[in-house]
Structure 1
Amino acid sequence: MSEYKDEKIEDILVDSELAKQLVPNKFKFTSQQGRARRQKLLMGAKKLSETKAINDISLADVCEEAGIPRASAYHFFPNVEAIFLALRFLNAIEILEVLNTVETADCDRWQGYLTALIERCVSIFHLDQTKAKLIYDTNTPDFEGDSFGEDIDHQIVKLVYKRLAERYEMPRYEDIQDTLLITLSIINGVFTLSYRQHERITDNYLQEALTASIAYLRCYLPEKLPRKNRDQAK
């Protein structure tokens, strides 16, 4: 089950501070009835995606599942792709907030922190397969012409850098940013291959993602980064 309760999905979509930061004014406030209807459309799409390929789901299917007239649905989403983009947006917020809880305190080296992050992400996908489907499946809506996908990647990279820099002596962010972005792309590439072959992130591909990403970062980071003393870490 998702960390968020279904009845809270609309509040997250509209009211999240992260939502406002990443996609300002993307989802305008509506009346309470309007918010409830938009929520039903989102949850209807999510339920259908659990058993059907996303590109096989039409707006009419979602409206029928949600019990919302199609004419009313157009007030909230112009098409079915927009509904699934909204779900991807919600998933990204949840993943970022969960990853934000992973600390470096229990990790002797940066490799341990990276491993913990990747394993936590896969655990999210195992709990809710629709999250992986929306990101890694074929023919799913993408954020073409929108900077949201790129913004999410940069948010993840900034989070990783911040956590590592709190504990270790790290290169300047400007010097390591592209390297961390490429690391993220490597992980996503392995996960995409796993999902498209097995419809899930398998343990074998999880290990491949760990091996590939750590091996790449070892080209730029020492095996053991110097730790900051307590005064520097504060």
Structure 2
Amino acid sequence: MTSQVKLRSAAKRPRSPKSERGLARYESLLDATDRLLVDLDPDQVGLYQIAEEAGASPSSVYHFFPTKEVAHLALMRRYLEGLRNLDAMEVDIGQLESWQDLMKLDQIRARDYYNSHPPALKLLFGGYGGVEARKLDERYSEEIVSSMYGRYNGIFHMPQMENEALMFTICFAILDAVWAVSFRRFGEITSDFLREGQAACIAYCRHYLPERTPSA
């Protein structure tokens, strides 16, 4: 019974490449999936389409991705890593007067990243991928939330909070909900919905944060 559970679990996740050659093939398949998703919805992109686009055999695709959902999950991981790297981008502290400015900057960068990667919008706001995709998105959110207070506190002297992680978690949920509406209506995150997301998140965080905090 345990072995059957492990097999079912493994079938829901991409197989990690074991060699440089395998890694190159793996990335090539992800690139092909990415190109297909620019014009097609995830439910239109299967393993055979990925194989044809990559110039690979279907068996090669199946080796890494047992189902199309697993291929989409692997691409979703790549995009979430790209979003995570946004926090490492340089911040001109002299241009920031408050935590609100930093929150707006972070959301502008995230919006620009999403809009420049249409497949990311489809995978993360289109409701595709099922349970495993939701779990992956939740883990990503938890990782980002766990570091957000420290990042903000490194730029501004943030107040001591009993549960800052909960505040940022709810803030993330608010932003996702606003941007999901924009994606469903327009296929992108528009400037209007960017501003709506900023306003909603800042209004919520003002329940817990002072209007002004001194620079660190």
User: C-alpha offsets along residues 8-36 of structure 1, whole Å, 9 cap, x if unaligned?
Assistant: xxxxxxxxxxxxxxxxx975342333223
2:80 to 84, 92, 100: 92
**Pick aligned residue for 1:83 from 71, 83, 87:** 71
- Name the counterpart of 2:137: 149
Is 2:176 the partner of 1:188?
A: yes
Q: Quote the residue 2:112 is aligned against.
A: 123
1:225 corresponds in structure 2 to 213
Partner of 2:56: 68
Task: Write out aligned runs for 1:24-173 (5 A).
Answer: 28-103=16-91, 105-106=93-94, 107-138=96-127, 140-144=128-132, 147-172=135-160
Q: Does the Cα contact within 8 Å between 1:194 and 1:202 map onto a contact in 2?
A: yes
Query: Contact 1:63/1:69 (CA < 8 Å) preserved in 2?
Result: yes
Q: Is the 8 A contact 1:59 1:80 kept in 2?
A: yes
Q: Give the match's secondary structure for 1:75.
A: helix
Tell which deviates more after alignment, 185-194 or 143-152.
Answer: 143-152
Tell me which amino acid in the other structure corresponds to 1:71.
Answer: S
Please tell me whether the aligned partners of residues 38 and 119 of structure 2 are also in contact (alpha carbons under 8 angstroms).
Answer: yes
What is the alpha-carbon root mean square deviation over aligned residues?
2.2
The whole-number CA distance in structure 2 between the counterparts of 1:192 and 1:221 is 26
- What TM-score do you get using the length of structure 2 for normalisation? 0.85
* More helix by percentage: 2
Deviation at 1:145, TM superposition (A): 8.2
- CA drift of 1:121 comes to 0.6
Gaps of at least 5 residues in structure 1 are 1-24, 229-234
**Distance change in 2, residues 1:142/1:127 (3 Å):** same
Identity rate, percent: 27
Structure 2 unaligned residues grouped into runs of 5+? 1-12
Give 1:37 deviation, angstroms: 2.2
Distance 1:83 1:146 in 2: 15
Distance across 1 between alignment mates of 2:14 and 2:88: 23
Q: CA deviation at 1:130?
A: 1.7
